Amino acid sequence: MSATTNRDGSTVPGPGRRARTVDVLVIGAGPAGLAAAARLAAAGAGAVEVVDREEQAGGVPRHCFHSGFGLRELRRPMSGPAYARHWCDLATGAGAALRTGVSVTGWSGQPGRDGGTAQGRNAGPAGGPVRAEGRGPLVVDTTGPDGLERVTAGAVVLATGARERPRSARLVPGTRPAGVFTTGELQQAVHLHHQRVGLRAVVVGAEPVGYSAVRTLRGAGVEVAAMVTDQPRHQSSWASGLGARLHHRLPLLTGTTVTALLGRGRLSGVALRHADGRTTTVACDTVVFTGDWIPDHELARLGGIALDRGTRGPAVDTAFRTAAAGVFAVGNLLHAVEPAGTAAREGRLVAGPVLRYLADGVWPGGQVPVEVDAPLRWVAPNRIDPRGPRPPLGRFTLRTAGTARRLSALVVTQDGRLLHRERLRRAAVPNRPLYASADWMDRVRPDGGPVVISAG
């Protein structure tokens, strides 16, 4: 991991490494990163550069060929690639430099050193805001076809997104045959590379992305044998679930887990265990593991930037500030995952705090952590600076784990003191967004313990 940093901690580039300086470096050219770059460039932040390791900018929407992007914020339905192009055009049109095929391989030094490196540890030392100049510049190393660079930036915005957990990380036993996908790989195989996938597939997971996988498979001429979820019901929209079942005769197997992959060379089937304990085998040559998202937090961790224990993305306050001075984070790196429009909104909203930081160099200390109790899984943002703004749309985003009892209310406390209680209008379902109002923020004691959100 240290191969890309000078061992003496200096920022002099190694042999053959070009040194460059920008005002703001945005890492990741998905909707969040592009929206941030567009707004920052338009607002006169100076040299704004957005880098992406893929050859094409746009992030995940690049390979989501279904419609429905942009409805909320752009007021028109777009396909994923069109939506990706929209943000690319906006960023470059505003004057941001967009560089693709460039990988950020690490930091020179550890920007998060002062904030602690252990996950879940409180961000920042206790106390008031501090001027950040003393902490040294932010410097990253990159690799691209044009060579190696060492880029110094006044501020860095991490927008590295999220990915689906693959089969191995889900610890699904069995053989290791070909024909095992995530939705991300499936969509790229079908839509970007026009590869043949298989003849008969099982889709694991019934979040909205699972239905996207079904659409992609059907479009590629693959029969979908079944959709399998360990949850008691699907977690997509009512229309999507019903439509898939009635219109496409898609069997949805709820309360069902995949106990093994079968076959040598090529997948021959999946072994299932049903809610009642029955075990069956479904013959298929393709299986798609969908959802179960995890933030792509490699750069945050390489920089020693504190992660939130729940989201596993960098811990951030309501102004998208991480524990490392000058390093911001936006998009699904913070909450895996919310719709692309939410990521883009955060990209726009981060511009203000970045500009302010570039002007005054002030970084907050003594933020109050926001934590959740089971069955809640995570909350984002998850740090509060009492002087900071309210979160986007005045609400915190949460997720709950699978639970038998339905959640009826959320309770917010600090040191046992009730800050807020709200009834939930809809039942909380795993893998679907759950929101808590931020109306209680001004009642948080800056010198108090963590704020805890629990199910009431």
Partner 1 sequence: MAVTTSGRLPDEVYDIVVIGAGVVGSAIARELGRHPLRIALVEASDDVGDGTSKANTAILHTGFDAVPGSLESRLVREGQRRLAAYAAEAGIPVEPVGALLVAWDEEQLAALPRLVEKAERNGYHEARIIGADELYAREPFLGPGALAGLDVPGESIICPWTTTLAYATQAVRAGADLHLNCPVSGIVAGSPHELRTGRGPLRTHTLINAAGLRADEIDRMLGHADFTVRPRRGQLMVFDKFARDLVRHILLPVPTALGKGVLVAPTVYGNVLLGPTAEELDDRTATGSTAEGLAFLRERGGRVLPALLDEEVTAVYAGLRAATEEDDYQIRCHPEQRYVTVGGIRSTGLTASMAIAAHVVELLADAGQRLGTPRELEPVRMPNIGEAFARPYERAELIAADPEYGRLVCHCERVSRGEIRDALASTIAPSTPEGLRRRTRARGGRCQGFYCGAAVRALFTSGPAGPVPGTTGAAGAEGGEPSLRPEVGP
Residues that bind partner 1 (CB under 8 A): 1, 3-4, 14-17, 53-54, 101, 103, 105, 119, 143-148, 163-169, 171, 173-176, 178, 181-182, 184-185, 188-189, 192-193, 195, 259-260, 264, 294, 296, 298, 301
Q: How far is the CB of 182 from partner 1 (least distance, A)?
A: 5
The amino acid that residue 373 corresponds to is D
Asked whether 412 and 419 are in contact (CB, 8 A), the reply is: yes
Instruction: Report which of 171, 189, 201, 163 is spatially closest to residue 63, judged by C-alpha positions.
Output: 189
d(CA 4, CA 142): 9
Q: Closer CB to partner 1, residue 280 or residue 437?
A: 280
Asked whether 26 and 92 are in contact (CB, 8 A), the reply is: no
Asked whether 153 and 24 are in contact (CB, 8 A), the reply is: yes
Q: How far is the CB of 36 from partner 1 (least distance, A)?
A: 21
DSSP-derived 3-state class of residue 238: helix
Asked whether 122 and 369 are in contact (CB, 8 A), the reply is: yes
- Respond yes or no on whether the N-terminal peptide bond of residue 381 is cis (omega within 30° of 0): yes
d(CA 332, CA 133): 29
Neighbouring CB atoms inside 10 A of 360's CB total 11
Q: Closer CB to partner 1, residue 102 or residue 451?
A: 102
Q: Closer CB to partner 1, residue 13 or residue 154?
A: 13
Instruction: Report which of 226, 216, 213 is spatially closest to residue 256, judged by C-alpha positions.
Output: 226
Q: Closer CB to partner 1, residue 295 or residue 388?
A: 295
Q: How far is the CB of 9 from partner 1 (least distance, A)?
A: 18
Q: How far is the CB of 8 from partner 1 (least distance, A)?
A: 18
Give the burial class of 403: count Cβ atoms within 10 A of its Cβ; 0-12 exposed, 13-18 middle, 19 or more buried: middle
CA torsion 229→230→234→235, rounded to 10°? -110
Q: Closer CB to partner 1, residue 174 or residue 361?
A: 174
Asked whether 419 and 413 are in contact (CB, 8 A), the reply is: yes
Q: Closer CB to partner 1, residue 14 or residue 232?
A: 14
Q: Closer CB to partner 1, residue 1 or residue 359?
A: 1
Q: Closer CB to partner 1, residue 76 or residue 264?
A: 264
Pull the structure tokens for residue 133: 């100049």
Asked whether 141 and 16 are in contact (CB, 8 A), the reply is: no
Q: How far is the CB of 453 from partner 1 (least distance, A)?
A: 22
Q: How far is the CB of 436 from partner 1 (least distance, A)?
A: 26
The amino acid that residue 54 corresponds to is E
Q: Closer CB to partner 1, residue 182 or residue 318?
A: 182
Q: How far is the CB of 168 from partner 1 (least distance, A)?
A: 5
Q: How far is the CB of 303 from partner 1 (least distance, A)?
A: 13
d(CA 207, CA 435): 18
The CA-based diameter of the chain, rounded to the nearest angstrom, is 64
d(CA 231, CA 403): 9
Q: How far is the CB of 117 from partner 1 (least distance, A)?
A: 10
Q: How far is the CB of 58 from partner 1 (least distance, A)?
A: 13
Q: Closer CB to partner 1, residue 176 or residue 233?
A: 176
d(CA 323, CA 119): 11
